[in-house]
Each structure stands twice: as C-alpha cells, then as structure tokens.
Amino acid sequence: MGTVAIIVNPAAGKDIRRLVAEASPVSDASKVGTLRRAVIGAMEGGATRVIMSGDRRGLAERAIDRLEASAEIEIMDAPAADSAHSTREAAALCRSRRVGAVVVLGGDGTHRDVAKGWRDAPIVALSTGTNNVFPRPHEATVAGEAAALVATEKVPLAAVTHRAKTIDVQLDDGENDLGLVDVVLTNDRFTAARAVWSPDGVREIVATIAEPGSVGLSAIAAAVAHQDRRAPGAVHVRCDPNAASRVRAPIAPGLYASIGLMSHHHLEAGDSVTFEGPGVLSFDGERDRTLGADRTATATIRIDGPRVIDVGRALAWASGRE
C-alpha cells in the first residue's frame, strides 16, 4: 500500500522545435530538480514506497542524492537505451507492481508512451515537455503529494480523477497504436526529425482535446471547434493548403501558422475515421509511422485511457474541503 511511481522521459523537451519554433530546452538538471521535488511531495503525502524510472543518464540517482528518505526508494533497472520503448516498459512495470499512482514528467508524447504501457494508469500528468496539452502545469512538490494521497487511499481515486480519451489506431497490417491528444496524417514520406512544424503537409487531424489555450496540431482543431478533455467525443478536421477558408493557430511554442480548412465535424466516442496513405501518421505531435500508398489506418475514439488525477481536487479532498 502507498506506492507511488515517478516516470521521467530523459528525451523530452530537446527536439527540433528548439530550432524551428521558440520552444525552450528542458535540461537534465531541471528534470533532476523536478524529480526530487516530486519525491519529497510523495513522501509528505505518506507514500511508503517510491519507484522511479531508470535511465542511462542516472536522473533518478541524481534526484535522490543525499535525500533524507522516509519512504523506501527503488530505481528501476536502466534500459539498454533511453527511448520511447523504455517509457512504455516502465509504465508496464508499474502496472504489474500494482502502483497506486504514477507521476509522469514529460510532454504529450511521454504521456502517450505511458498509456501505451499501462492503458488506464492512474496518473498525475506533469508538463515538462514541449507541447503540453495533455499534462497540466503543476509544481512537482504538490503533484507528488497528490499522487501519494491517492496511492495511500486517503483520497479515493474515483473522486478526483477523470478518464482520459484515446484515439486508437488500427493499421491494415495488424499493428496498432494510440494517441491521447491528436493523431494527424501529413504528406510526409519519412518520420525524419519527428516533430511536425510545417502546416503545409497537414491533411487530416483527429483531436480529443480542442480547448482554448491548446498549443500544437490540436490547436488547429481548437480554432474551429471546442472539445473539452472531460467530455466524450473528438473533432475531425480535413485540411487543404489551397483552401480559401483559413485559421491561424499556434502549432508549436512561439510558432503561429495559417492553415487552409476543407471541413470539420464532431466525432462521438466509438466513431472511427479512416486515414488513407501515402503519408505519415503523427501521434501527439510526433511523426511516428509511415503509411504507404494503398494502405489505411482506422482511428477510433475511446474513453478508457489513463485515469487522470486532478491535483487541486486531491489536495482539497485531503484537507476536508471537498
């Protein structure tokens, strides 16, 4: 009882959007500090055990260096190489270890990897990446505390969480994948530098979150429709660089672009959209899968993703104010 896990993505906040947009680099030193504060918060919240993801650069080891620990701290074995795969494995390990709550440090892409490893993980989503639509800004100290309050069952999980949506993608070759915020088909042929920063190649967007204030490709959807993260459903947008109807949207930090729109419509949970190749599928802002000519992928909206802990409500509940 009372086990909190903390998963950090060492690669988050370092991609090409620091060159092609105005995104700030997120240093390892900053991640170490954030991790340390999350551990301190988790111990304050009563966690008896804290499991931290391991990596090749020793972020967790640095974070707990000379920390007076009231909980048992365990660092997972470092993977052979730091990758999206290692984040997924860390999340899967948390599930098998019956962790009570997971603090996730990263951007939209990191949270997607966690969901791929543990679909309905109880998480505190903490933004330290580039595009942060799914995770919200919180001070890590209280984020760690909120996770511990849930993990120790001082606060009931169901009372302070909402169920995140997913966009499940079934490819025609039998592979499957998922996005949490947006799945986008672009005109690219290669995944190359992965991030998407040019609006011209964007053909279709499916977004589960289209809220005012979004930054990233889902901001294009937010410019034409509203889709709250807590409400079931999604937005499907078709783009055309030559269309007369245009919107401006912040598609990366500090980067506004004009996008031509062909159509948009609302999707209910359970509805599907079929993407047709050739093109590249990007998930939560990263080009990740090539789709050859004559190939298809079907995206379906579901509402059985991670259980997202509301930090403010968890703390309020614990203090008897909710």
Judged by the rule CB under 8 A, the positions of this chain that interact with other proteins are 10-11, 14-20, 25, 27-29, 56-58, 80-81, 188-194, 198, 201, 278, 290, 292-293
Q: How far is the CB of 238 from other proteins (least distance, A)?
A: 21
Q: How far apart are the C-alpha atoms of 150 and 147, rounded to whole Å?
A: 5
- Stretch (H or E) spanning 287: strand 286-291
Q: Looking at beta carbons only, is 190 or 268 nearer to other proteins?
A: 190
Q: Looking at beta carbons only, is 7 or 267 nearer to other proteins?
A: 7
Q: How far apart are the C-alpha atoms of 266 and 233, rounded to whole Å?
A: 7
Q: Looking at beta carbons only, is 232 or 241 nearer to other proteins?
A: 241
Q: How far is the CB of 19 from other proteins (least distance, A)?
A: 5
Q: How far is the CB of 62 from other proteins (least distance, A)?
A: 9
Q: Are 315 and 146 in contact (CB under 8 A)?
A: yes
Q: Looking at beta carbons only, is 264 or 287 nearer to other proteins?
A: 287
Q: Looking at beta carbons only, is 26 or 147 nearer to other proteins?
A: 26
Packing angle between helix 311-318 and helix 140-151, nearest 10 degrees?
60
Q: How far is the CB of 89 from other proteins (least distance, A)?
A: 15
- Rounded to the nearest 5°, which phi and psi values hold at 180? -100, -35
DSSP 76: P
Structure tokens at 280: 């590249």
Q: How far is the CB of 27 from other proteins (least distance, A)?
A: 5
Q: Are 22 and 130 in contact (CB under 8 A)?
A: no
